[in-house]
Amino acid sequence: MNHDRLELALEAAGLGEFEWDLTRDVLVVSKRMAEITGVPAGEMPAEGGRALDRYVHPDDLPQYLDGRSRNLGAEGRYEAEFRQVRADDGRTIWVRIAGVVTMGSDGRPAHVAGIIQDISERKIEEEHRQTLMAELDHRVKNVLAAVQALAQQTAKRTTSLESFLANFAGRLKALGSANELLTAARWRGAAVEHLVAAELGALAPGQTTWDGPELFLTPRAANALSLALHELATNAVKFGALSAEAGHVDVRWAHTGGGFELTWAESGGPRVQPPVRRGFGSTLLEQVTGRELNGDTLVEYRPGGVYARLRAGAPAVAPRPETVPEAPAARSTETIVASSGPADLKGSRVLIVEDAVLLALELETSLSEAGAEVIGPAYELEEAMALLDRPIDAAVLDANLNGRSVTPVAEALARRQVPFVFATGYGETGGAPGGFDAPVIRKPYDVTQVAAAVAELLRAG
């Protein structure tokens, strides 16, 4: 490569070059290095390296000097990354230096030739990624702590395993819905309208209405409101307005200074009596929700229907996110199974495709107890494809298998006219994943829902 081509290559790569003649203690800075570092171009006294050392960030200087001292002790290549304070404008940048040390006839370092590169953008990306990972770790731990608390509090106030599973699963799903909306908005906030729609949208079509201005909540407030709405909706279905065909629930919210106020009003249902026993739902509504919203909660058991008022302070309200997800219309396509007894899958052959081992084992147990012969479970795409030559009557598919789409399996089943249900944690708003005509059950779910959904598929077929 001739000199001109070398110059072009260095320029294209964004590299600056330098030479350090240790024998004469002279440093030669190229024009490109000057542009990167702000150090004047040309030849200058190296001052034993101090000519450049004075521009190394003080916090990085000890490590840099230690590394340089070791590198100059042996012939070969050396590299270093550190922060540098530009000589011209004082800005701090990240640079990478790579050089080759050449020894003199006396066996001592005589010459260093090297290049320098501005890596500030890469370092910023790395720091941003580390910040995101730390934030994700914090959120995951918070979610796990919330789930643990929900489980413990639900268990303390239920008298049977069946009741615990039903109550806990519902609360876990409400928490999951809020987190799904927050994830879609990159955890910048969730809209009150979306939280209400996620809870009521498919619960009782024609018996629920809601209205209010565009309003976004912080993650903490969104989770609290989602759980509160779930408790109110569950009570309405079991004992209140939504337990009767003529019943109705109306939800309204409005700005109140820096915060907001939301009201829940039931009408047209059976005559309401105050609860004899206080369960965790009542405690959650009257104590937890108000504190989490930086406000207060009022629940009144009026004869004509339950009335609840939730007030939130300014800390509960978030700015409008840059990314605002669509309203969770997909909830209306979710398979909601009524408690009409255990599913009967006797004699059916059901394929399970699920990459979460514990969940797959739980599904296998549930389907087997319902009488099905379980094919699999398949944890990987290749495993699932290899099982397709076996007789299959129905299938349960996770949408994503360790980062890979389950679409090839779904397409193969569709060609064979084998019905399947998606049991997935992905919150797509356009119905089933991949546009398939198939029921969808969103994680977290009760495995009995899956068994019931499979039984419904087989009956329809």
Calpha distance 203→234 (Å, rounded): 10
Mark the ranges of the chain whose per-residue pLDDT is less than 70: 1-13, 72-76, 131-150, 152-154, 156-158, 163, 165-188, 202-205, 277-281, 283-284, 288, 323-342, 425-434, 443-446, 461
The b-or-e profile of 396-427 (16+ CB within 10 A means b, else e) is: bbbbebeeeebeebbebbeeeebbbbbbbbeb
Burial class (CB in 10 A: 0-12, 13-18, 19+), 453: buried
Calpha distance 159→170 (Å, rounded): 17
pLDDT given at position 337: 41
Confirm if 292 and 221 have CB atoms less than 8 A apart.
yes
Question: What amino acid is encoded at 96 in this protein?
Answer: R
pTM: 0.50
In order of start, what are the domains of the chain with their CATH numbers? 3-118 (3.30.450.20), 124-331 (3.30.565.10), 349-460 (3.40.50.2300)
Confirm if 247 and 241 have CB atoms less than 8 A apart.
yes
pLDDT given at position 426: 56
Confirm if 380 and 406 have CB atoms less than 8 A apart.
no
List the structure tokens of 394.
């129905």
- How many Cβ atoms are within 10 Å of 205's Cβ, its own excluded? 9
Calpha distance 453→438 (Å, rounded): 10
pLDDT given at position 289: 76
